[in-house]
Amino acid sequence: MRRGRPGALPRGTAGRTLTSVGAGDTGDRAEEAAHDAAARLWHVTLSVSGAEAPLGEVRRALEQLAHDHPFLLTSRYANDHAEIRYWEEARDLHDAAAVALRLWGEHRSTARLPPWEIVGLEVIDRETYHQRIAEGCGPLPATPVGVHPF
């Protein structure tokens, strides 16, 4: 698959052509299909807590995190703890949990998050999430979406 301006060849490629290995399938489509087959959706609930911080600053920080990462479904907060819920696409639970455990620390400075520590993490697959909801045992669906006080 060639990318770029129509009619223009990339530098150093005069006379060369790219051919597909698969039967009528480009490498990009085959790669996407393999990714889709391997990736699953995981519902993540990340709980953090620490020293008290002004509610306005906590809300602003969580809103900034949600703006920077629109995959966040909902955040609930108080002046000394917060809960973030979202869907993560990952190959397995280990990958989803690893991303979740990095989320708070990696975005602490850019979103100006409070210096709280992670005190809880739940990662469940999509089927388990929906089963819990159907049985009335799981967390309520993340509505309303956004940042809200506890």
CA dist list (Å): 113 to 72, 103, 116, 117: 15, 11, 8, 11
Q: Are strands 81-90 and 72-77 parallel, antiparallel or unpaired?
A: antiparallel
Task: Give the model confidence (pLDDT) of 41-96 as tens digits.
Answer: 999 999 999 999 999 999 999 999 998 887 778 899 999 999 999 999 999 999 99
Burial of 66 (0-12, 13-18, 19+ CB in 10 A): buried
**pLDDT score at 136:** 86
Tokens (6 digits) for 113? 């998050």
CB atoms within 10 A of CB 146: 14
CA angle 144, 142, 110 (to 5 degrees): 85
